[in-house]
Amino acid sequence: MATVSSSSSELQSSSLTLLVLLPVIYISYHLIKRALTPTKKKTKKPTTHGLKSHPLLGHLPAFLKNRHRFLDWSTELIVGSPDHRMGFWIPGMRTGIVTGNPADVEHVLRANFANYPKGDRATAMLRDFLGAGLFNSDGEQWLWQRKNASREFSSRSLRSFVVDVVSDEVAGRLLPLLRSAADGYGHGHGRVVLDLQDVLERSAFDTICMVAFGHDPCCLCLADGGGDGGVCWADDSKSEFMRAFGEAQDLIIGRFLDPVEVSWKVKKWLNVGTERRLKKAIADVHAFAMDIVRARRQSASASASADQSQRDDVLSRFVASAEHSDETLRDIVLSFLIAGRETTSSALTWFFWLLSSSPPAVTARILAEVRGARASTGTRRGQPLGFDALRGMHYLHAALTESMRLYPPVPLDSQSCAEDDTLPDGTHVGKGWSVTYSAYAMGRIPAIWGDDCAEFRPERWLGDDGVFRPESPFRYTVFHAGPRMCLGKEMAYVQMKSVVACVLEEFVVDVRKEVAGGSGGVPEHVLSVTLRMKGGLPVQVRRREEC
């Protein structure tokens, strides 16, 4: 899979070249605009506590300087701001705010939802990849898809299908892989070092492809005999779709991070650099997806009495309605892949790292819940855990929720202001401004979570009776909030809890902290579509003694 680092270097090079020309461009632009535009009332601009604005350039120099660490930089400004928001403006290009204020989030995502669509800028950046799918549409088009998807996700049959797919992936692939790693693949090399992030991403991609497409890419299939003291995948050519999909995601996010918006448009027009690579990756993804869509449509036409197990995936459900074009089905399913490809794997990667740095009592409480579930269901170690058993694990639910509070899989989400508006505290938001809420920053604000907000403490989510207590989604925005609340929230927890419960009861996961730790012992992150760990998460696993 292509990494963000290569694309980032290309984007940074383009930005630096443009930076040399920006003073001339801006001076010319504003002189001409001033000469041609009638005098009018001065436009309001957002301000930020601690962020310097420059004549003609606005906040562009600060954006370019901190582009490589945008998440941490914006979080520092938001946490240090009295109103917990960061305003920015780049004349002629971008203006908006990034907020960690729960009142702002509720206003944008619920109270005045209609005034904050995805907007033309964001949908234009994603259109060549996601078309008009659920996560790249607004208005009636979005509402129609949302209603159809909501109906499907509320069905018991789809929930049962997801549980079965997750159970098969964990029991049939993930656990055997970890057993082989613990035994050194039979080559006498001792315990093998695995990149747990890569393993979890492969497993999640297998799972979401089965749920969305009914297609098994076999990304986590291990070759017989392993490798030379390491992992050897059965047929890595089968992972080509995962590689192309990941590269397209990484390059798309580069468009959003480039403060000089015209840069990606020029490169696309010239078909050079990252845009040339993106065009190829999107073509590969679309070709693969269309092949599956057409095959599924032909299969449905040929046999209306197909095996029910072949009709439970999301694609088959939409094909059955016979209302949609092949392109529409492709866009719908790709949106589900975006939602499920890296979200759970990102959450689990950071969870296992946090667990390695936590007191042993955290793991002990999780294992106690697993043993209780085994006793109540009569199942043995290594066997799947059902939906009801997983739902009853309140401490594990709290631990995963706490992990995502600190390391949300989707750390930022943006909307566009359709018409001039005012936030609850009176702050002006102009028409066309972007409004981004930062789940990452919100998890680090003492006013929301207390002075211990930087600590991983699952107990903050439990009542005196040990039962999980949810927080307002406008304070805990990991699954978004309001009408765009994540439809797959319950299924994501099923997948994560199944993986953690089955892995921890059989293995001790030792993180190679001398490799994984960044500055201060915290791994560096990569801001892609999700919050990934830079360089992966190197671990060794050893079998846990049965209690």
Structure tokens given for 380 = 């043995």
| Residue 52: closest CA among 66, 36, 35 | 66
Q: Give the C-alpha separation, 313 to 80, whole Å.
A: 46
**DSSP bridge pairs for 233:** 222
Structure tokens given for 177 = 């892989």
H-run or E-run covering 421: strand 421-422
Dihedral sign for Cα atoms in the order 196, 201, 202, 204: positive
Q: Is 547 annotated as a binding residue?
A: no
Q: Give the C-alpha separation, 89 to 315, whole Å.
A: 42
Structure tokens given for 250 = 């990484």
Query: At residue 353, what is the residue type?
Result: W
Backbone angles phi, psi at 6, to 5 degrees: -65, -45
Contacts of 156 (CB under 8 A, 6+ apart): none
Q: Give the C-alpha separation, 266 to 100, whole Å.
A: 33
> Tokens 């504003």 identify what position?
30
Cα dihedral 296→297→299→302 (10° resolution): 180
Q: Give the C-alpha separation, 539 to 535, whole Å.
A: 12
Dump the DSSP string for 141-189. Answer: HHHHHHHHHHHHHT-HHHHHHHHHHHHHHIIIIIHHHHHHHHTGGGTT-
Q: Quick check: 405 and 473 in contact, CB under 8 A?
A: no
The per-residue b/e assignment along 278-310, b for 16 or more CB within 10 angstroms, e otherwise, is beebbebbbebbeebbeebbeebeeeeeeeeee
| Residue 417: closest CA among 407, 425, 428 | 428
Overall size of the chain counted in residues: 547
The per-residue b/e assignment along 188-216, b for 16 or more CB within 10 angstroms, e otherwise, is eeeebbbbbbbbbbbbbbbbbbbbbbbbe
- Give the residue ranges of the annotated binding site: 486
Residue ranges of the binding site for heme: 486
